[in-house]
Structure 1
Amino acid sequence: MNNSVKDPCRVAVLSGPSGSGKTTIVGRILSDSAVPIQMAVSATTRPPRQNEVDGTHYYFLSSDEFQARRDAGDFVECAEVHRSGFWYGTLKSEVQRIQDSGSWVLLEIDVEGALQVMQIYPDATSLFLMTPSVDEYERRLRSRGTESEEVIQRRLRTAAEELKSADSYRHHIINDDLDRAVQEICDVLEAREKDFYAR
């Protein structure tokens, strides 16, 4: 059974290892993009932290509700993250909500989730964010000064695995200059938007 969604597909998927600058890039895309674009709000079984608002930061679901919706096929992607026992995912209804508003959907998700999304949206605009070298990932992680050596090593192992999947993405963005990387992504989105109107 083919569950894929045909064009026009205003879905942008952004992935990249820890230290590649995803959070900063996302903020700039949302403010600088010439095409209307909104960040999809993820669902999670993780309890809310102080000041987190349901429906704004995440859709907070109980484990039972998350599992029920997973069984019903309500997610475009979902996974247990970092063996934490907490599940995260993107609801189809969230993608539809944004598309109905006339905006592109921006999904900032890991490789595992991105590959799931690309199965459903094979014409999604997939973007893999990279640093100029593997050494740069480690330098950026260490410069944060917020994580233990064990966490850094785990993130570096994950980064090595994620880099193996880079060829599954349509576009590779080297984040060696923030302004240039943001402009490159915005140019890709604008070009895809023009393609849709040209059809």
Structure 2
Amino acid sequence: MQKPKRRGLLIILSSPSGAGKSTLSRRLLEVDPEMRFSVSATTRPPRPGEQDGRDYFFKSRREFETMVEAGEMLEYAEVFGNFYGTPRAPVEAATREGQDVLFDVDWQGGQQIRNSPLADSVVSIFILPPSIAELESRLRARGQDSGEVVASRMAKSRDEISHWAEYDYVLVNETLSTCEAELRAIIEAERLRRERRPDLMVLVNQMNREFEERLT
């Protein structure tokens, strides 16, 4: 018998910078064939090793504003002087095909997605660091940003963390492997929710027909 299909999820993963959401996102994508990453558009310049269309769609500020004006963004926000946003059409196409879409976004992006027409498919998860001292240590250990940028990210982290209660689930990333296991458990449970599997009605109707055939 064919396995019942389900609608794809919009999985929102948010955290203050340095708490681990990008690493967790990468690990999920490496092991889960039913999940794809939502490639965002951004006006910030590429970092070393980043490729247009794979890591981000790199746009000029005017190009980005044009997409917003045309209603082509599912969500967008300005962060550290640059715009970030999610093109809407690829997300809608993926969920229709039963593919989950993973969003590595801040609280502003998550809020817009939760308030969008696709809200029924959203599962939102916030990642907390075990402490503020550990958060700063992780930021400095990455070696990607100057001391000034690290200080700016730390200043913004308080505002980011203040939105933790808006999410469906909140995990503390004290140990990466444990946090990853908890994250995968949440996703598997959400995939099995009855309301996310419309083809179950087809299966149950088929079973009822089989019962009737046995009685005739």
> What TM-score do the two structures reach when normalised by structure 2?
0.78
Aligned residues: 190
Secondary structure class of the residue paired with 1:161: helix
1:19: which partner in 2?
Answer: 18
Q: What corresponds to 2:213 in structure 1?
A: none
Q: What are the residue-to-residue correspondences of 1:46-57 with 2, within 5 Å?
A: 46-48=44-46, 52-57=50-55
SS of the residue 2:29 aligns to: helix
1:190: which partner in 2? 188
Contact 1:41/1:94 (<8 A) preserved: no
1: distance between equivalents of 2:125 and 2:151? 25
Q: Distance in 2 between matches of 1:143 and 1:53?
A: 23
CA contact (8 A) 2:8 2:97 kept: no
Q: CA RMSD in A?
A: 2.3
Deviations along 1:121-179, one digit per CA (max 9) or x if unpaired, are 43411010111122211222233344333222211111111110000011001111111
CA shift for structure 1 position 22: 1.5
Contact 1:129 1:173 in 2 (8 A): yes
- Cα displacement string for residues 58-89 of structure 1 (whole angstroms, at most 9, x for unaligned residues): 22333333212201221111122202xx3221
Please say if residues 8 and 99 of structure 2, whose CA atoms lie closer than 8 Å, have aligned partners that are also in contact: no
Please identify, of 148-157 and 179-188, the stretch whose mean Cα deviation from structure 2 is larger: 148-157
Gaps of 5+ in 2: 1-5, 202-216
Q: Structure 1's 100 and 61: CA in aligned 2 closer, same or farther, altered over 3 A?
A: farther
Alignment-mate amino acid for residue 102 of structure 1 = G
* Displacement after TM superposition at 1:12 (Å): 0.3
1:47, distance to aligned residue in structure 2 (A): 4.6
Query: Greater CA deviation, 164-173 or 152-161?
Result: 152-161
User: For residues 32 and 175 of structure 1, what CA distance do their matches in structure 2 show?
Assistant: 19
Give ranges in structure 1 of 5+ residues lacking alignment: 1-6
SS of 2:184's equivalent in the other structure is: helix
Q: Say whether the 8 Å CA contact 1:40–1:98 is kept in structure 2.
A: no
Partner of 1:149: 147
Q: 1:117 to 1:148 in 2, by over 3 A?
A: same
1:10 aligns with 2:6: no
The aligned counterpart of 2:160 is 162
Contact kept, 8 Å, 1:43 with 1:89, in 2: the verdict is yes
Relative to structure 1, the CA distance from residue 150 to residue 64 in structure 2 (aligned partners, 3 Å threshold; closer, same or farther) is closer
> What's 1:111 paired with?
107
Indicate if the aligned counterparts of 1:131 and 1:137 stay in contact, CA closer than 8 A. yes
Identity of aligned residues (%): 35
Larger Rg: 2
Distance 2:144 2:61 in 1: 29
Q: Give the TM-score of the pair, scaled to structure 1.
A: 0.84
- Spell out the pairing of 1:35-184 with structure 2 (5 A cutoff): 36-48=34-46, 52-83=50-81, 86-120=82-116, 121-123=118-120, 124-184=122-182
Which deviates the most, 42-51 or 16-25? 42-51
